[in-house]
Structure 1
């Protein structure tokens, strides 16, 4: 029988989606599941985005420009320049989600065997994107005890070699919710300039910064123009995950010209979704104020509830809508599967994302889970109750 590729064999499974078959089986048994595993907000998509697609009058659903519709890119640049990024339309390539933007980035700045340093835990698909691109991830550990703050610069420098091409961060972080301080961002900026590296910042949760803190974009740091690459997406900002529209942003002309070749190879991003994303840019600030207020309330309820469970340790997120919790179990993969297969409370259970898949270092994070607080507050309260009872039963 013909063999599959080595790259395919080592491609990691998604910690977010790999338990879906067990959840589907539980639903068939009549079990209600609270999905805490995936960052799919229950917030309504802005109505103007949906209406723009409904109002579209076209006889041919045609390709767009490979970089995305000019009208969308122009409006997107105006949106970014409200926070003084100083961009032009040539600094933006529209992608099929932030995922494709990350693939374009790795393809543009890395050759096979090159290395990217990433603080872990990190968005699980970074492992997959790196595998698909032939890139080696060099993880640098962060700790739940200090909310997964940036490691020391000396720790970064110990990992830098002649194969290192970039440092990749998610800010605010998925899965940790950590929001980098201005000092930390400036430290990273100085580091990449010192070693002539790229600083790639996944900023898809930019708007979701809490407790009076502000997000500092990699595009707002002076002197980083040739080093900075920003990844963005409409998925979380406007609760438009299914649109699959993101973008890659950089002022480095050589990087963008290279990325354009990858963009041309896939032809163009989705036409209808660009129409929706362009309309979504008109969303008033009141929408975000309400959404941010809701997420802060959800976070506070969830964190307080988790801290009341014996043996559970949890970091307090400063942004996004995730947290990482450490549980009194040896293997959260087994525990998460058990909750779907063998546990229920009043005919209900929960689905979580085992956190080992958010690490690149083997064996790390096996007693942790990621929780997405994207459900209404009453559901989060019930989900915490279920988790507490499940832990009692599992450890009995």
Structure 2
């Protein structure tokens, strides 16, 4: 019998999606499930984006340029010029989601066996992208006690080896919602400058910052233009997860010319999705104002309700729409499956994402879960009440 690759064997299951078969069975049994596991916003996609598809009269669905439509990239450049005035459309490659941008970045800067330092917990698919690229993730641990803030600079520097190629952050963070301060971004910039490394920032949640906090893009830091690589996406910004359009942004010409070879190898990003994404750039600021206000209210309610549950610890996110909660259970994977297979409260249950998959350190985050506050406030409140009831029964 033929054998699959070791790479395939090592590829991790998604902690966000691996419980879907149990959720499907629960639904077949008639249970209502409150989905707290996946970052699929219920916010409406901007009409301007949907109308661009509905009202299009394309007669041939052709390839685009491998870097994406020039018209789209020029409009994107105008958007990024609010962050860094020198950005042009030549500093942007449109990708099939932020995921492809991450793969292009890793393929561009690292060879098999090279290392990328990432503060953990981090977006679970970084592990998968690293394995697919032959890259070794080197974690530097942030803690719930510190609200998942940036670990000390000394913790990064003692991990740097000749194989280290980059530091990768998600800002604001998925799964933590942590928003890095200007001081923290400047500290990272100093490290990569001192050690001649790349700084990759996944900034797909850039618009979602709360409590008067401000997002600080690495594109705005002077002196690291050759080090900085930004990963971005329309998925969360415009509630367009299904469009699968992202981009890679860098002023480093060698990075961009190399990434372009990867872009050419996959031909081009999808045409209709680019049309919708280009139109989405016309979305008025009032849309974001309303969305940010709604997410902040949801966050406040979720954190407040979670903190009422005995022995539950929760970090307070400054951005995005996730939080990490530490539960009084030995194994969040077992508990999450139990919620779907065996538990029900008035024929309802919740689906959560075990946080162990958001770490690369074995055993880390074993009693933590990621919760996405992408449900309406009344549903969030009900979901937390169900979770509280479940914990009482589970630990009785």
Is 1:252–2:252 an aligned residue pair?
yes
Instruction: Give the aligned partner of residue 160 of structure 1.
Output: 160
Contact 1:179/1:319 (CA < 8 Å) preserved in 2? yes
Deviations 1:13-57 (A, max 9, x none): 000000000000000000000000000000000001000011111
Deviation track 1:212-244 (CA, whole Å, cap 9, x = no partner) reads: 010000100000100000000000000000000
Partners of 2:89 and 2:378 lie apart in 1 by 44
Name the counterpart of 2:181.
Answer: 181
Is 1:376 the counterpart of 2:381? The answer is: no
Question: What is aligned with 1:349?
Answer: 349
Q: Is structure 2 residue 187 aligned with structure 1 residue 203?
A: no
**In 2, Cα distance between the equivalents of 1:116 and 1:138?**
6
Map of 1:49 onto structure 2: 49
The aligned residue for residue 14 of structure 1 is 14
Post-superposition offset of 1:84: 3.2
Distance 2:268 2:55 in 1: 22
Partner of 1:321: 321
Matched residues in 1 for 2:91 and 2:113: separation? 27
Task: Determine the structure 1 residue equivalent to 2:127.
Answer: 127
Q: Structure 1: how far apart are the matches of 2:179 and 2:325?
A: 17
Looking at structure 2, the residues matched to 205 and 85 of structure 1 have their Cα atoms a distance apart, in angstroms, of 21
Corresponding residue SS for 2:229 = strand
2:2 aligned partner: 2
Q: What are the superposed Cα offsets for residues 163-185 of structure 1, whole Å, 9 maximum, x if unpaired? A: 00000000000000000000000
**Partners in 1 of 2:384 and 2:82 — Cα distance?**
40
What CA distance in whole angstroms lies between the structure 1 residues aligned with 2:28 and 2:141? 40
Partner SS for 2:56: coil
Normalising to structure 2: TM-score of the pair?
Answer: 1.00
Contact (CA 8 Å) 1:148, 1:176: kept in 2 or not? Answer: yes
Q: Partner of 1:136 in structure 2?
A: 136
Contact 1:142 1:150 in 2 (8 A): yes
Measure how far apart 1:79 and its partner are. 1.2
- What residue is the counterpart of 1:234 in the other structure? 234
Counterpart of 1:171 in structure 2 is 171
1:259-274 map, 5 Å: 259-274=259-274
Does residue 365 in structure 1 map to residue 368 in structure 2? no
Q: Does residue 1:62 correspond to 2:62, yes or no?
A: yes
Alignment partners' CA distance in 2, 1:257 and 1:334: 46
**Could you say if the C-alpha distance between residues 391 and 74 of structure 1 is closer, same or farther in structure 2, counting changes exceeding 3 Å?**
same
Structure 1 SS opposite 2:72:
helix
C-alpha deviation, 1:86, in angstroms = 1.9
Q: Summarize deviations over 1:172-209 as a string: whole Å, max 9, x none.
A: 00000000000000000000000000000000000001
For the pair 1:115 / 2:100, whether they are aligned, the reply is no
Asked if 2 retains the 8 angstrom alpha-carbon contact of 1:85 and 1:219, the reply is: no
Q: Tell me the SS of whatever aligns to 2:158.
A: helix
Q: In structure 1, what is the Cα distance between the partners aligned to 2:82 and 2:104?
A: 26
Q: Deviations over 1:128-176 (max 9, x none)?
A: 0000000000000001011000000000001000000000000000000
* Shift of residue 83, structure 1, vs aligned partner: 3.0
> Contact 1:118–1:139 (CA<8 Å) still a contact in 2?
yes
Q: Who is 2:304 aligned against?
A: 304
Find the residue that maps to 1:165 and give its secondary structure: strand
Q: Does 1:391 align with 2:391?
A: yes
Q: Provide the rounded CA distance (Å) in 1 between the counterparts of 2:98 and 2:18.
A: 21
Shift of 1:85: 4.2
CA distance in 1 between partners of 2:296 and 2:56 (Å): 36
- CA separation in 2, counterparts of 1:83 and 1:43? 25
User: Once the 2 structures are TM-superposed, how far is the Cα of residue 59 of structure 1 from its aligned partner?
Assistant: 1.1
- Hey, what's the Cα distance between the residues in 2 that align with 1:194 and 1:71? 37
Contact (CA 8 Å) 2:83, 2:219: kept in 1 or not?
A: no
TM-score normalized with structure 1 length: 1.00
Distance 2:82 2:248 in 1: 18
How many corresponding residue pairs?
396
